[in-house]
C-alpha cells in the first residue's frame, strides 16, 4: 500500500491557482472541490476552472464533485482534464453506469460517502471503482475538525478491499493533519486529502512531505 497525498486547493488562494499548484510540487494529486450550493451549502468552481488548472499544472487533478446530478456533470470534468473524478453516492442516480462512463472516458472513477452513509450497501459496487472516498467531515467547508467516529468505517472498508483482493484506493478527506493522519493510515487509508494542513502552512511542499512521512511510518 503506497501513500499518496492530495492537497486541497479549497484552502489555496483562488486568484493564484497556478502558483498554488506549483507550491505543492511533489504532491501526487491536486484535490479540486466542486460545490454547487445544493448538495452542500457552499459554492466554489466548475468545469472552466478545472480546464484552466489542468493546462497550468502537471500535477494530476483529483476532482471531488459535491454536486447534485453528478451523472450529468462528471463526464465534462473528465473532458476538462481531470485524472480522477469522485461523485457522491447519495447524489448519483446510477453509480455503476456513471463509474463505467468515467473510466471509459479515460479517468479514474471514484465514489464518496458522507459521514452518515454506510459502506455495507455498496459492497458489490467496489469492483467498479478505482477509489473510494470516506468523508471525515460533513462536506462543504475546509478547516473542520476530523471526525474520529469515521475510523471504524475506514477499517471495515479496508477489510472489504482486502477480502476481495481489489485494486481500490481508499481516500480520506476532512480534518486530515499532522494530528490525525497516522490514525487514518493505521485504519487503512492510503490517499490523504489535506487542505488547511497544507495551504495553511508557511511551506506547503514541506507540509506535503511531512504528511507523507507520517502516513508511511
Residues of the shown chain interacting with Zn ion in the complex, contacts defined by CB under 5 A: 33, 64, 173
The helix/strand/coil state of 105 is coil
Three-state secondary structure readout of 156-198? HHHHHHHHHCCCCEEEEECCCCCCCHHHHHHHCCCEEEECHHH
Which one, of 15, 132, 13, 147, lies nearest residue 64 by Cα? 132
> Which of 36, 130, 173, 190 is the catalytic position?
173
* Other beta carbons less than 10 A from residue 30's beta carbon: 24
Considering beta carbons, is residue 6 or 157 the nearer one to ligand DX5?
A: 6
Annotated binding site for a divalent metal cation: 31, 33, 64, 173
Q: Inter-axis angle of helices 95-104 and 70-79, to 10 degrees? A: 10
Q: Is 162 a catalytic residue?
A: no
Annotated binding site: 8, 31, 33, 64, 140-143, 173-175, 195-196
Q: Please state the φ and ψ torsions of residue 191, each to the nearest 5 degrees.
A: -125, 125
Q: Which position among 175, 180, 208, 212 is part of the footprint of ligand DX5 (CB under 6 A)?
A: 175
What's the rounded Cα separation, in Å, for the pair 32 and 116?
23
Annotated binding site for substrate: 8, 64, 140-143, 173-175, 195-196
CB of 38 to ligand DX5, least distance (A): 14
Contacts of 122 by beta carbon, 8 Å cutoff, 6+ apart: 89, 95, 111, 113
The helix/strand/coil state of 109 is strand
Site size with ligand DX5, rule: CB under 6 A: 22
27 near ligand DX5, rule: CB under 6 A: no
Q: Is 130 a catalytic residue?
A: no
36 near ligand DX5, rule: CB under 6 A: no
173 near ligand DX5, rule: CB under 6 A: yes
Q: Which position among 70, 142, 188, 204 is part of the footprint of ligand DX5 (CB under 6 A)?
A: 142
Binding-residue pattern over the window 51 to 70 for ligand DX5, x denoting contact by CB under 6 A: -------------x------
Q: Name residue, grid cell 504528511.
A: 211
> Contact positions toward ligand DX5, by CB under 6 A?
8, 10-11, 31, 33, 64, 137, 139-144, 173-176, 193-197
The residues that are catalytic are 33, 173
Amino acid at each position: 500500500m503506497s501513500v499518496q497525498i492530495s492537497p486541497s486547493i479549497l484552502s489555496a488562494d483562488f486568484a493564484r491557482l497556478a502558483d498554488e499548484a506549483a507550491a505543492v510540487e511533489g504532491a501526487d494529486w491536486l484535490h479540486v472541490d466542486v460545490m454547487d450550493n445544493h448538495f452542500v451549502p457552499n459554492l466554489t468552481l466548475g468545469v472552466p476552472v478545472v480546464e484552466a488548472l489542468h493546462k497550468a499544472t502537471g500535477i494530476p487533478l483529483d476532482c471531488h464533485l459535491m454536486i447534485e446530478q453528478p451523472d450529468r456533470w462528471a463526464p465534462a470534468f473528465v473532458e476538462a482534464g481531470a485524472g480522477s473524478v469522485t461523485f457522491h453516492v447519495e447524489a448519483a442516480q446510477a453509480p455503476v453506469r456513471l463509474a463505467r462512463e468515467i473510466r471509459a472516458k479515460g479517468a479514474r472513477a471514484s465514489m464518496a460517502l458522507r459521514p452518515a452513509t454506510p459502506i455495507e450497501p455498496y459492497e458489490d459496487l467496489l469492483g467498479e471503482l478505482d477509489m473510494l472516498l470516506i468523508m471525515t467531515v460533513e462536506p462543504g467547508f475546509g478547516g473542520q475538525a476530523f471526525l474520529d467516529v469515521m475510523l471504524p468505517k475506514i477499517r471495515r472498508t479496508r477489510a472489504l478491499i482486502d477480502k476481495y483482493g481489489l485494486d481500490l484506493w481508499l481516500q480520506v478527506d476532512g480534518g486530515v493533519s499532522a494530528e490525525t493522519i497516522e490514525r487514518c493510515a493505521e485504519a487503512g487509508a492510503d490517499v490523504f486529502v489535506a487542505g488547511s494542513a497544507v495551504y495553511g502552512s508557511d511551506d506547503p511542499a514541506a507540509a506535503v512531505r511531512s504528511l507523507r512521512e507520517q502516513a508511511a511510518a
